[in-house]
Structures are given as structure tokens and as C-alpha cells.
């Protein structure tokens, strides 16, 4: 009897541990590790979709200040041909903890990628030649309309909405 109770208790514990760890997994999956080539393939898609590729990091204060605007913008336009992609430039070891927290805090429900590149000199120019590498930065593309604009500065919801018109 006592043995059974203990077993049951252990099973319940195990059950809770499994639930908690699966939650953690769901959050961790929200930030997908990607290299620059794969990222470029996603936004080079020749469709009439306007891509907003937003480069940020959880250590970047101006990025965090404008993040709510980017989230609202992507929510507002989710039924249109607008695709927001968040690209985190966090360091891999820090991001395991910081990114899931950030995704939850800001209620980001669009893809968040963690860029797995160490030598920025290789890929920064492929985003935009004028970019020095400072963040926040946003690349806006519509491949069918041959539209490309790059902003190496903070942007407001108002500015973003103007650009999509």
C-alpha cells in the first residue's frame, strides 16, 4: 500500500517534470538556429510577399525599446502578404536563456531565428553594403516588385505602416 503510494507519487513527480520540460522545449523551439545562407534563401523567395527582416539582440537596449512596435506591426498585418522575420544576433550561449524569455515577454508569434555566424564581416555586406553592423537594423524586400530598402536605425509602428502602403 505504502509502496504503491510512493510509486504513485514518484510517477506524478515524473509527469510534472515531463510537462515542465516539454514547455521549455516549446519555448526553445521558438528561436531556430540558422546560418546566413539559409536565412537569405527564405527572404529571396520570388513571391509578392513583403519581407521585414529585423536584426536585433536581447542585449541591445534600443532594439528592446522598439520591439513592441514590430510585434504590433506583424500582428496587424498577419492576414496580408507581409512576413516579419526576427533575426537575433545574440551569442549562442546566452540565447538559450534570454531568447525564450524575450519571445514570451514580447508575445512574439512569428519566426525568431538565431543567426549562427561568427564572422560578421562575411555576411553584413550581403544584407546591405552601407550597413556598419550596428543594430537595430531592418531589411525590407519584395522580390516580385523588386523593392529593397534597408534601415540601420530604430523604427516606429508609424514608419513601418507607411512602408507597407
Partner 1 sequence: MIKNIFDFSLLVAICVLSLGFSIKGNKSSYDFHLKNVGGNFVSLKDYPSAKGFIIVFTCNHCPFAKLYPERLNGLNSKYKNLGVPLIAICSSDTITYAEDSFLKMIEKAKNENFNFPYLCDGEQLAAKNFGAQKTPHAFILWKEKNNWTIKYSGAIDDNGAEPDKVQHHYVSDAVDELLKSKKVSIPETKSIGCQIHFRK
Residue numbers at the binding site for partner 1 (CB under 8 A): 57, 59-62, 89, 91-94, 118-121, 124-125, 131-135
> Residue 108 or 135: which CB sits closer to partner 1?
135
Task: Identify the bridge partners of residue 142 per DSSP, sorted by sequence position.
Answer: 147
> Residue 69 or 76: which CB sits closer to partner 1?
69
Distance CA(21)–CA(19), nearest Å, equals: 6
Least distance from partner 1 to the Cβ atom of residue 22, Å = 29
The torsion angle over the Cα atoms of residues 141, 90, 136 and 39, rounded to 10 degrees, is: -10
Least distance from partner 1 to the Cβ atom of residue 75, Å = 27
What is the end-to-end Cα distance of the chain in Å, rounded? 70
> Residue 52 or 90: which CB sits closer to partner 1?
90
C-alpha cell at 66: 522598439
Least distance from partner 1 to the Cβ atom of residue 36, Å = 12
Amino acid at each position: 500500500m505504502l509502496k504503491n503510494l510512493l510509486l504513485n507519487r514518484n510517477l506524478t513527480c515524473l509527469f510534472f517534470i515531463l510537462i515542465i520540460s516539454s514547455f521549455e522545449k516549446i519555448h526553445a523551439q521558438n528561436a531556430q538556429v540558422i546560418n546566413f545562407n539559409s536565412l537569405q534563401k527564405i527572404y529571396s523567395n520570388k513571391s509578392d510577399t513583403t519581407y521585414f527582416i529585423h536584426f536585433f539582440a536581447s542585449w541591445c537596449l534600443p532594439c528592446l525599446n522598439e520591439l513592441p512596435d514590430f510585434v504590433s506591426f506583424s500582428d496587424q498585418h498577419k492576414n496580408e502578404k507581409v512576413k516579419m522575420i526576427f533575426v537575433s544576433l545574440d551569442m549562442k550561449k546566452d540565447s538559450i536563456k534570454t531568447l525564450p524569455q524575450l519571445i514570451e515577454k514580447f508575445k512574439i508569434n512569428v519566426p525568431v531565428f538565431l543567426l549562427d555566424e561568427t564572422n560578421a564581416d562575411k555576411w553584413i555586406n550581403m544584407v546591405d553594403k552601407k550597413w556598419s553592423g550596428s543594430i537595430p537594423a531592418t531589411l525590407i524586400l519584395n522580390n516580385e516588385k523588386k523593392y529593397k530598402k534597408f534601415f540601420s536605425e530604430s523604427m516606429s509602428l508609424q514608419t513601418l505602416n507607411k512602408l507597407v502602403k
